[in-house]
Chains A and B, each alone.
Chain A
Amino acid sequence: MIRSNDILGMIHSNAYDACLSELTNMRTMGSVPFGGRYRLIDFTLSNMVNAGIGKVGVLTKSNYQSLMDHLGTGRAWDLARKHGGMYLLPPFVTGENGNFGNRLDAIKGNLHFIARSDEEYVLMSDCNVVMNFSVSEFVAFHEKTGADISILVKRGKVPAMANMLVFETDGSSRVTSAVFGEAGEEGTFSTNIYFMKKALLERLVNEAAALKKKNFEEDIILANINSLKIFAMEHKGFAYAIDSLAAYYEANMALLEAPNAHDLFTSKRPIYTKVRDDMPALYGIESNVENCLISDGCVIKGRVENCILARGVTVEKGAVVRNSIIMQDSFIGAGAHAENVIFDKSVVLKPGKTLCGAEGFPVFVGKGIVI
C-alpha cells in the first residue's frame, strides 16, 4: 500500500503555454482562468491534495508572477505547511540546462529538489487537461499492475499538442506500442500524468541527459516501452485537453451541461481555489439570466444567456451578453451587446457598444482593454 504522504507531486505550470498564446501572454498555463472562479492549476492541485499528497513542487519557466499571486503560500489547498507543502520552483538555469525548453529540461533543472524530497514516488502533471480524477485510484492501479510507470490516458480525438503520445495496450492495460499522435484522429492519448518511483525518474532523466537527449516523451517513454513495464489507466469521466483558444471556449461552455459540471465539481473531491471574499452575486429587478454559470461578486441587471461569468463581473441594465466567457471584474455597460466573446480580466465594454464574434469563433479581448 503506497502511503499518500510518500508521493511527491510535480506540476509543470508552463507546459503548452503556446497553445493558448492569447491567454498566456502575461501568465502561465496554470494561472489561466477557467470555469468562472478557478485557474487551471486548481484542478491539478486539488486532485493531488484530495488524495492526501502533502508536498507539491510547481515548476515554472516564465511569466509566473500571476501564478505566484494565485498560489500564495498554498493555504487554499492546505499546502501551507511546516513539513512539505507547496514549493514554487522558479527556473534554475545553469550552463548545462537550457531555460526549460521542454519537460526533460524542466525536470533536470529541478533534480536537486526531487533528490532532496523524502517521498518514494512521484506524480507528474501538466495544467491544461481539465478534469477531476481520483489520484488514489490511479496509485492503486499502479500497485495492482506492478507497473514501473503508469500513465493516465483518455480516449477520444487526439489534441493538437506537441509530443502527444498515443498508446496501444494489451488486455492488462500494459502499453505495447506508442506513437506521436495526429491531431484530430481518434485514439488513446496521454493526459501527461505520470506516476513512478522517484528513483526511476531520477535515473531515467540522468541517463537521458548524459546522452544529450532532449525529449521526455521520445527519449524516456517511447525508448523504454519494451524495457520497462508501462501501464495506461483510462480516465472515463469529464476531461478536456485545452490545446487552443477554441478548445478553451468549448471546455468552459461544456460546464453548462449538468453531467459535465457534476463530474468536474463532485462534492467527493472539491476543487479548491484562492478565495476572494466577494459578496454573493446580486440580481437586479430587471435581470434575465438563462443557462449560465455565475460567480460571487457579480452584479447582474441585464440579460445574460449561455455564459460563464467570473467573479466580480457587472452587467448593467439593458445590456445583453450571449455565448461568452467574461473574466474577473469585467464590466458590460448599460445597453451594450456582447456575443461570442472571451473577455480577459477587467475588460470594459462601454455603454451602448456592440461586440460580436462568429458562432464557434469567439473574439478575444485582452486584459484591461476598454472598448
Chain B
Amino acid sequence: MSKKTECIAMLLAGGQGSRLGILTKNIAKPAVPYGGKYRIIDFPLSNCVNSGIYTVGVLTQYQPLELNDYIGNGAAWDLDRESGGVHILSPYQQIEGSEWYKGTANAIYQNINFIDRYDPEYVCILSGDHIYKMDYSKMLAYHKEKDAACTIAMLEVPWEEASRFGLMLVDDNGAITAFEEKPKEPHSNKASMGVYVFTWSKLREYLLADEADETSSNDFGKDLIPAMHQAGERLFAYCFDGYWKDVGTIDSLWEANLDLLRPSVDLDLSDPSWRIYSKSSAAPPHYISAKAKVQNSMITEGCSIAGEVDYSVLFARVKVEEGAVVDSSIVMPGTVIKKGAVVQYAIVAENAVIEPGAVVGEKPENTKNRDEWGVAVVGAGVRVGQGARVAPKAMVGEDVPAVSAEEEEK
C-alpha cells in the first residue's frame, strides 16, 4: 500500500495519432516532438508537477518504446520519487486472460488496482495529445467547491469551428445540462478539452458498470460520462481560457509550432513560474555562422546554422548548411539540410537528410492548384536525394532518389 494521496493523475498516452501519418509510424503521438526541445507529453506532465500532482500513471499501448525511454524514471519532471512519481502502465496479462486497452475508460478500468494503492479522493484524467498550460489545482478546487462527481474542462471555441468538437450545454451555475458530440448545428461553443477531474469513488463505480455493459465502447466521452449524466450525477464544466491546441493533424502540428513565433499567441514557454520541463539533449549552445541569416525563428541547443532560416522552429542538433533555406518549417532533431537545399512549408522529422539542391514543400503563393496545397512531410531517417523534389502536401516515408540536372530539365 502506498501513501494516501489526495489527487493522482492518469495520462492517456496510448493513442496512435493516425492522422499524423508517418510521424507516428514508430512513436506514439504523445512522444511527437514539439516546440524545439519538447515532446507533446511534456505539457501535461509539466502541468501536473506545476499543479502539485506528483503521482502520475501514464497509460501506454501503441509503439511505447520511445515514450517509455523518454519518460524513464521521470527525473526530467522531478517525478522520480520515493512516494508517487511517474509510472508507465501498459496492458498486462491477468488470470482471466489478457486484453489491450479497448477504450479510454477501459484503460482506466484495467488500472483500478494501481489507483486504489494511493486511495485517492480525486483522479484527474488527462490526454497526451494537447499543447496547453493549465493549473489543474484550480480545477480541482472548483470540483470540490461544486461537490461534483465529474468536472470537465471546457474551452470556448469559435462558433464556426464548434461542430468539430464534443460540446457541452451549461447552466448559469456551471452545471452541464446536455452534451452534443460533433453536431451539425451546434447549440453551444463550449468544447471539451479532454481534461477531467473525477471523485474517485464515483468514477470507480461507473467504471465497473461500464465494463459490465457489453454494448459499451468503453469510452469516457461516448459512454461513461453520458451514463453519469443520465443517472443524474453532478457534472460541471470548468472554464479554461488560455492557449489550447489539439495537435492531431499535420496542419495543426505545424501551426501549433509556428504559434510559438507569434507574439500575439498566449503560450509563453519562458515563464519561470510555469516551466515546461523536458529531457535535456546535452548539446552545446547552437552556432550561427557569419554567413547565416536567421529571423523570426526558434532554435535550440546543438544546432549549427550557416544558411537562411525564417519563420521556422528547429530542434536540437539540426544542421543547415551554407546556401540552404528553411522557411515556414518545422525541423526535428538531428536532421541535416545540405548546401542549397530548400525546405519550405514542411515538417521534416528526426535524423532526415535533405541532400544538396533538393526542394521540400512549396510556398502556397507559388502553387498552381491552391486546393491541393498543404504542408509537406518528410519522415524520420528519410534521405531526400540530390536535386529531388517533395511536393506540397506529400508525405514521404521512404528515401527519395536523387534527380540529375538533365532529368530536372525534362
A residues in contact (CB < 8 Å) with B: 35-37, 75, 256, 258, 261, 264-265, 270-273, 275, 277-297, 299, 308-309
B298 proximity list for chain A (CB < 8 A): 279-283
A283-B294, A295-B286 known; 6 other A-B pairs, CB under 8 Å?
A270-B282, A271-B282, A280-B36, A287-B296, A289-B292, A299-B270
Q: Are A279 and B299 in contact (CB-based, < 8 A)? A: no
The answer to the question of B289 belonging to the interface, with a C-beta cut-off of 8 Å to chain A, is yes
Chain B hits for A37, CB < 8 A: 284-285, 301
Q: 12 A-B residue contacts at CB 8 Å?
A: A36-B284, A279-B276, A282-B260, A283-B295, A285-B295, A287-B294, A289-B288, A293-B284, A294-B286, A295-B286, A296-B37, A296-B301
Taking the complex as formed, is B287 at the interface, i.e. its CB lies under 8 A from any CB of chain A? yes
Contacts of B261 in A (CB 8 A): 282
Q: Are A291 and B300 in contact (CB under 8 A)?
A: no
Query: Whole-angstrom distance between the alpha carbons of A35 and B283 in the complex?
Result: 12
Contacts of B188 in A (CB 8 A): none
Which residues on B sit within 8 Å (CB–CB) of A292?
A: 287-288
Count A-B contacts at CB 8 Å: 99
Q: Of B270, B296, B314, which contacts A278 at CB under 8 A?
A: B270
CB distance B277 to A294 under 8 Å?
A: no
* A258→B313 CA distance, assembly (Å): 23
Asked if A283 and B296 make an inter-chain contact with CB atoms under 8 angstroms apart, the answer reads yes
- Residue from B285, B290, B313 with most neighbouring chain A CB atoms (10 Å): B285
Taking CB atoms, residues of chain B closer than 8 Å to A280 are: 35-37, 298-301, 313-314
| Contacting residues, chain B, for A285 (C-beta < 8 A) | 295-296
In the complex, are the beta carbons of A265 and B284 less than 8 A apart?
A: yes
For residue B265, which residues in chain A have a CB less than 8 angstroms away from its CB? none
Which residues of B does A touch, CB under 8 Å? 35-37, 75, 260-261, 269-270, 275-278, 280, 282-290, 292-301, 313-314
> By the criterion CB–CB under 8 Å, are B295 and A284 in contact?
yes
The residues of A that contact B287 with a CB separation of less than 8 Å are 256, 258, 261, 292-294
Chain A residue nearest to B284 in the complex (CB): A265
Complex interface: chain B residues within 8 A of A289 (CB): 288, 292, 294
The answer to whether A293 and B295 have CB atoms under 8 Å apart is no
Let me know if A287 and B295 touch, CB within 8 A.
yes
Chain A: CB-nearest residue to B263:
A284
Q: Are A75 and B75 also in contact (CB < 8 A) when A278-B270, A281-B300 are?
A: yes
- Which of A258, A285, A286 has the largest count of B CB atoms less than 10 A from its CB? A285
Highest count of chain B CB atoms <10 Å: which of A286, A292, A297, A308 = A292
**Assembly CA distance A99 to B284 (angstroms):** 36
**Complex Cα gap A285–B36 (Å):** 18
Q: Are A309 and B285 in contact (CB under 8 A)?
A: yes
With the chains together, A117 CA to B314 CA distance in Å? 46
Residues of B within 8 A of A35 (CB): 284-285
Report Cα–Cα, A20/B266, bound state, in Å. Answer: 43
Q: Which residues of B contact A281 (CB under 8 A)?
A: 286, 298-300
Counting from the closest, the 3 A-B pairs by CB-CB distance are: A280-B36, A280-B300, A36-B285
Partner of A277, one of B275, B292, B293, B313: B275
Which B residues are in CB contact (< 8 Å) with A278? 270
> How far is it, in angstroms, between the C-alpha of A89 and the C-alpha of B125 when the chains are bound?
46
Contact A295 B289 (CB under 8 A): no
* Chain A residues near B295 (CB-CB < 8 A): 283-287
Q: A75-B75, A277-B277, A290-B289 are in contact. Are A283 and B299 (CB under 8 A)?
A: yes
Contacts of A290 in B (CB 8 A): 288-290, 292
Chain A min CB distance to B73 (Å) = 11
In the assembly, what is the distance between CA of A277 and CA of B37, in Å? 9
Question: Which B residues are CB-close (under 8 A) to A256?
Answer: 287
Query: In the complex, how many angstroms separate the beta carbon of A217 from the nearest chain B beta carbon?
Result: 33
Determine the distance from Cα of A287 to Cα of B296 in the docked complex, in whole angstroms: 8
Instruction: Look across to chain B and name the residue whose beta carbon is closest to the beta carbon of A278.
Output: B270
- Among residues of B, the one whose C-beta sits closest to the C-beta of A290 is B290
Closest to B37 in A: A280
A291 to B294: give the CA distance in the assembly, Å.
12
Q: How far is the CA of A309 from the CA of B314 in the complex (A)?
A: 18
Contacts of A309 in B (CB 8 A): 285
B297–A275 contact, CB under 8 A? no
CA distance A285 to B263 in the complex (A): 11
Closest chain A residue, CB of each to CB of B261: A282
A291 near B288: Cβ-Cβ < 8 Å:
yes
Cβ contacts under 8 Å, B286 to chain A = 281, 293-295
Closest A residue to B306 by beta carbon equals A258
